[in-house]
Amino acid sequence: MSRMTRQQTRRGGVLPPPKEIMEKLEKTVEEGNAYGALQMYKTYSTRYAAAEKYNEALDILESGAIVQLKHSEVTCGAELASLFIDTLVKGKCPFCEETLDRIRKIYQAFPKLSMPQHLADQDDDDMEKISEALVAAKTRVEVCSSFLKSAIRWSAEFGSSRNGFAELHYMLAEYIYSESPELDMAKVTVHFVRGNNPEKFASTLVNFMGKCYPGEDDLAIARAVLMYLSQGNLRDANKLMSELRRHLESNQQTLPKSDLIQFVVYLLETLERDALPLFRMLRQKYKSSIDRERLFNELLDDIAERFYGVRRQTSFPGMFGDIFKMMEMQL
């Protein structure tokens, strides 16, 4: 048997070439045996990784994830996608554009939500289908989020950004927003802020404003601006507001008229200069609006520290602690 056509492992075992494995297992998935194929994808990739042939292991896992996902085998595909990231870590593979493109292709293979239309007109059978679709959507969001969070951690460890690569955060924000049946805008905002794409974030917020409950629109805008500012990112906070105005004007709409939005506008102007007394005055004047969400006072403490060097007095316990852990890459 030629060494050019078969791969040798450290222990002397013979492995088929990756291309042969991938073609065979793709047929197995097409024949309906997704679980059997999953086990073989895992077996072969593990053996290649054990032989420190990480590129071959990654080829098998990438192919397997995409094939499974394109056949709507979400659980199998997501497991292989996560193993792809685990192998990057095990192989100490540095962050690079080529690997990002491979992660992007896996992400793009995750199925999108398909929901029946005209819910009010559905009979009992259709409502059961809707319930099943919601459960499936929740599962997709959970497993895709897990994959992307792992990718973010890998990019933080083996790349130049301690928070992880921005596009990966953007992918995660986009998927949670578009596919989650139980939307959590706070989580979406965390990753959009890390994603360095205020233009896209603005269009997402405009979309959210068109379907949210009354009183949620100004909260979402304020949360976004304050999260940018809590990271010291005045540029993108201003960019977000200008893009919001542009999108809304094109639809003949305006920003929500509320004291909270007025506070945000004044705050952005104040942070352009050394004006700590004015900053404190604004917090006091708009206290009732700021208190609408406990998170805002914590963010404003961060902003005071970043822009004016004001030391924090206390830590922030409670329900929003997880958000800040996420923002510090505790994913």
C-alpha span between 228 and 193 (Å, rounded): 6
Cα separations in angstroms, 83 against 89, 139, 266, 272: 10, 18, 48, 46
Residue at 230 is within a domain: yes
pLDDT attached to residue 7: 53
Gap between the Cα atoms of 170 and 292, Å rounded: 27
What percent of the chain has pLDDT above 90?
76
CATH number of the domain to which 223 belongs: 1.25.40.10
Q: What is the pLDDT of residues 170-203, one digit of tens each?
A: 999 999 999 998 889 999 999 999 998 999 999 9
Residue 2 falls inside a structural domain: no
Tens digits of residue pLDDT in 275-322: 999 999 999 999 999 999 999 999 999 999 999 999 887 655 444 444
Q: What is the DSSP letter of 119?
A: G
Mean pLDDT of the region 141-147: 96
Task: Give 38-48 pLDDT, tens digit per residue.
Answer: 999 999 999 99
Task: Give the model's confidence band at 2: pLDDT under 50 very low, under 70 low, under 90 confident, else very high.
Answer: very low
Name the band, by pLDDT with cuts 50, 70 and 90, for residue 60: very high
Q: Which long-range contacts (CB under 8 A, 24 or more apart) does 129-136 make?
A: 134/181, 136/74
> For residue 61, is it within any domain?
no
| Backbone phi and psi for residue 182, each to the nearest 5 degrees, phi listed first | -125, 85
Residue 178 covered by a domain? no
What whole-number percentage of the chain has pLDDT above 70? 86
- Is residue 313 assigned to a domain? yes
| Integer Cα distance of 165 and 88 in angstroms | 15
Q: Looking at the domain assignment, is residue 109 inside a domain?
A: no
In the numeric block, the tokens 């990231």 are attached to: 85
- Mind listing the pLDDT tens digit for each residue in 61-72? 999 999 999 999
- For residues 110-132, give the mean pLDDT: 66
Mean pLDDT value across the chain: 89
58 inside domain: no
Q: Per mean pLDDT, which range of 98-102, 210-214, 284-288, 311-315 is the poorest?
A: 311-315
How many domains in the chain? 1
Residue 4 confidence (pLDDT): 40
Quick check: is 310 in a domain?
yes
- Segments forming the whole domain that contains residue 277: 196-331
Higher per-residue pLDDT: 314 or 107: 107
